[in-house]
Amino acid sequence: MNEWSLITESPEATMELAEKLGEIVKPGDVITLEGDLGAGKTSFTKGLAKGLGVKRVVKSPTFTIIKEYNGRIPLYHMDVYRMEDDTEDLGLEEYFYGEGVSVIEWPSMILAQLPEDRMIISLLHMGETSRKITIYSTGARSSELVKELSL
């Protein structure tokens, strides 16, 4: 497992990192975002969307679990915070193995359904405008992505 950490000192710095990731992701890539409320998961997703060339404003999917955005490749943004249990059959596999990149906030409810090879991004609140971002890979493809992102 590859691991890479850095500290960002502003929301813009977090979004820039995410934008770089958005420029290099490929169809079928799965990224999970972990961290408390206000850690920056949605901000990260906004930056990633920008890197994909998404023109629409990305907002957290409040009334739906999944929102799809059109970019260079589709972005499937999921926020499973509201999900009650992991037995709900949402057909998530269609997204994970689909034509786009999946970004999942609060993945803990659906861990069993996630592909084994994925990029895990943890955001930790350090101060008002500083966040420690740790990026892990769990397989060959995600290792490649972490390497490319950290260059």
CB 82 within 8 A of CB 108: no
Determine if 118 is a binding residue for ligand ADP (CB under 6 A): no
Query: Scanning residues 88 to 127, which ones bind Mg ion (CB under 5 A)?
Result: none
**Residues present in the chain in total:** 151
Give the C-alpha separation, 123 to 114, whole Å: 19
64 contact partners, CB below 8 Å, separation of at least 6: none
Residue from 5, 64, 108, 129 touching ligand ADP (CB under 6 A): that is 129
φ, ψ of residue 138 in degrees (nearest 5)? -125, 15
* Residue 60 vs 64, nearer CB to Mg ion: 60
Residue 2 interacts with, from ligand ADP, Mg ion, none (CB under 5-8 Å by kind): none
Determine if 131 is a binding residue for Mg ion (CB under 5 A): no
Please work out the total of residues on this chain that contact ligand ADP, with binding judged by CB under 6 A: 17
Cα 149 to chain centroid, rounded: 14
Determine if 40 is a binding residue for ligand ADP (CB under 6 A): yes
Interaction site with ligand ADP (CB under 6 A): 8, 10-11, 13-14, 35, 37-43, 105, 129-131
